Amino acid sequence: MSKPLISALAQFAAATAGRNMTKAAYVAVTVGVLSMVLLSDKRAQEAHGWFNALLWTCLAYFVFEWLVRLRHMTQQGRLSLYMSSSAGLVDAIGALAVPVALLFGAEPKTAWLLSVLWVLKVVPGIPGLRQLRRVLVLESGPLVSVLVIFLMVVFLASVAEYFLERDVQPQTFGSVPAALWWAVVTLTTTGYGDVVPVTPLGRIVAAAVMISGLGVFGLWTGILATGFAAETRRDNFLKTWESVSKVPFFAALGPAAIADVTHMLRTMELPARTMIIRKGAQGDCMYFIAAGEVEVELPGKKVQLGEGAFFGEMALLGNNKRGANVSTTKVSRLLVLDLVDFRVLMARHPDLAETIDAEAKRRALENR
Amino acid sequence: MSKPLISALAQFAAATAGRNMTKAAYVAVTVGVLSMVLLSDKRAQEAHGWFNALLWTCLAYFVFEWLVRLRHMTQQGRLSLYMSSSAGLVDAIGALAVPVALLFGAEPKTAWLLSVLWVLKVVPGIPGLRQLRRVLVLESGPLVSVLVIFLMVVFLASVAEYFLERDVQPQTFGSVPAALWWAVVTLTTTGYGDVVPVTPLGRIVAAAVMISGLGVFGLWTGILATGFAAETRRDNFLKTWESVSKVPFFAALGPAAIADVTHMLRTMELPARTMIIRKGAQGDCMYFIAAGEVEVELPGKKVQLGEGAFFGEMALLGNNKRGANVSTTKVSRLLVLDLVDFRVLMARHPDLAETIDAEAKRRALENR
Amino acid sequence: MSKPLISALAQFAAATAGRNMTKAAYVAVTVGVLSMVLLSDKRAQEAHGWFNALLWTCLAYFVFEWLVRLRHMTQQGRLSLYMSSSAGLVDAIGALAVPVALLFGAEPKTAWLLSVLWVLKVVPGIPGLRQLRRVLVLESGPLVSVLVIFLMVVFLASVAEYFLERDVQPQTFGSVPAALWWAVVTLTTTGYGDVVPVTPLGRIVAAAVMISGLGVFGLWTGILATGFAAETRRDNFLKTWESVSKVPFFAALGPAAIADVTHMLRTMELPARTMIIRKGAQGDCMYFIAAGEVEVELPGKKVQLGEGAFFGEMALLGNNKRGANVSTTKVSRLLVLDLVDFRVLMARHPDLAETIDAEAKRRALENR
Amino acid sequence: MSKPLISALAQFAAATAGRNMTKAAYVAVTVGVLSMVLLSDKRAQEAHGWFNALLWTCLAYFVFEWLVRLRHMTQQGRLSLYMSSSAGLVDAIGALAVPVALLFGAEPKTAWLLSVLWVLKVVPGIPGLRQLRRVLVLESGPLVSVLVIFLMVVFLASVAEYFLERDVQPQTFGSVPAALWWAVVTLTTTGYGDVVPVTPLGRIVAAAVMISGLGVFGLWTGILATGFAAETRRDNFLKTWESVSKVPFFAALGPAAIADVTHMLRTMELPARTMIIRKGAQGDCMYFIAAGEVEVELPGKKVQLGEGAFFGEMALLGNNKRGANVSTTKVSRLLVLDLVDFRVLMARHPDLAETIDAEAKRRALENR
Radius of gyration for the alpha carbons in chain D, expressed in angstroms and rounded: 31
D106-116 residue pLDDT tens? 888 889 999 99
Are C211 and B150 a contacting pair at CB < 8 A?
yes
Please state whether the predicted TM-score (pTM) of the whole model is above 0.95. Answer: no
| Subunit contact D191:B189, Cβ cutoff 8 A | no
Task: With cut-offs at 50, 70 and 90, classify the pLDDT of residue D228.
Answer: confident
- Judge: D194–A190 Cβ closer than 8 Å, yes or no: no
**Rounded distance, CA A254 to CA C223, Å?**
41
- The model's pLDDT over D72-102, given as tens digits with 9 standing for 90+, comes to 888 888 888 888 888 888 899 999 999 999 9
What are the pLDDT digits (tens) for A186-212?
999 898 989 999 999 999 999 999 988
Which strands sit side by side in the sheet containing A275-277, from one edge to the other? A275-277, A325-328, A294-298, A301-305
Q: Is B255 on the interface with A (CB under 8 A)?
A: yes
Helix locations, chain B, DSSP H: 3-18, 23-39, 48-75, 79-84, 86-103, 108-113, 129-138, 140-165, 176-187, 200-246, 248-251, 255-264, 339-348, 350-367
Q: Which domains does chain B have, with CATH numbers?
A: 3-126 (1.20.120), 137-231 (1.10.287.70), 247-367 (2.60.120.10)
What ipTM does this complex have? 0.80
D41-68 in b/e form (b: 16+ CB < 10 A) is beebeeebeebeebbeebbebbbebbeb
- The amino acid sitting at C40 is S
Q: CA torsion, points B67, B68, B74, B75, in degrees to nearest 10?
A: 160
Which of C149, C226, C232 should one mutate to test binding to chain B, selecting the residue with the greatest count of B CBs within 10 A?
C226
Name the C residues in 195-224 with CB < 8 Å from any D CB: 216-217, 220-221, 223-224
Mean pLDDT of chain B: 83
> Given a cut of 60, is residue A367 above it in pLDDT?
no
CA distance linking residue A273 with residue A294, whole number of Å: 9
Q: What is the pLDDT of residues D126-138, one digit of tens each?
A: 777 777 888 888 7
Determine the average pLDDT of the residues in C12-33: 79
User: pLDDT above 90 covers what percent of chain A?
Assistant: 26
Name every chain A residue with its beta carbon within 8 A of the beta carbon of C191: 190-191
**D189/B189 Cβ within 8 A:** yes
CA dihedral A157, A163, A169, A175 (to 10 degrees): 80
Q: Which residue has the higher pLDDT, B54 or A141?
A: B54
Give the separation between CA B184 and CA B191, rounded to whole angstroms: 9
**A18-27, A291-300, D272-281: least confidently modelled range:** A18-27
Position with higher pLDDT, B228 vs B127 = B228
Residue positions counted in chain C: 368
**Residue C283 DSSP symbol:** P
Give the integer Cα–Cα distance in Å for D114 and D33: 10
pLDDT tens string B300-337 = 888 888 887 788 877 777 666 788 888 888 888 888 88
- Give Cα separations from B161 to A177, A194, B171, B190, C202 (angstroms): 18, 17, 14, 18, 22
CA distance C209 to D261: 53
Q: Which residue of A has its CA nearest to B164?
A: A110
Q: What's the one-letter identity of residue B251?
A: A
Closest CA to D192 of D170, D172, D162: D172
Q: What's residue B249's pLDDT?
A: 65
Q: Give the pLDDT confidence score for residue D101 in this predicted structure.
A: 93
Does the beta carbon of C248 lie under 8 angstroms from any beta carbon of chain B?
no
Contacts of B16 (CB under 8 A, 6+ apart): B22, B24, B25, B64, B65, B68, B69
Residue C206: per-residue pLDDT:
94
Name chain C's partners: 3 or more CB pairs within 8 A: A, B, D
pLDDT exceeds 70 at position D18: no
Measured CA to CA, the distance from residue B259 to residue B254 in angstroms comes to 9
Q: Supply the pLDDT for residue B203.
A: 93
- For residue C131, the chain D residues in CB contact (below 8 A) are 141-142, 145
Per-residue pLDDT at B252: 66
Q: Which of B199-208, B306-315, C226-235, D258-267 has the highest mean pLDDT?
A: B199-208
Taking the C-alpha atoms of residue C152 and residue C134, their distance in angstroms, rounded to an integer, is: 27
In chain C, alpha helices (H): 3-18, 23-39, 48-76, 79-84, 86-103, 108-113, 129-138, 140-165, 176-187, 200-246, 248-251, 255-264, 339-348, 350-367
Q: Which residues of D touch C123 (CB under 8 A)?
A: 152
Residue D367 pLDDT: 54
Band of residue B206 on the pLDDT scale cut at 50, 70, 90: very high
Amino acid letter, D117? L
Nearest to C177 among B37, B188, B276 (CB): B37
Backbone angles phi, psi at A77, to 5 degrees: 70, 25
Cβ–Cβ pairs < 8 A, chains A and B: 164
Q: Which of C34, C210, C221 to mutate to test the interface with A (most CBs of A within 10 A)?
A: C221
Higher pLDDT, C72 or C132: C72
Dihedral in degrees, nearest 10, Cα atoms D63, D69, D71, D73: -150
- Please tell me the distance from the alpha carbon of residue D288 to that of residue D333, in angstroms, as a whole number: 9
Task: Write down the pLDDT at residue C1.
Answer: 52
Predicted local confidence at residue B169, as pLDDT: 92
C217 pLDDT more than 60: yes
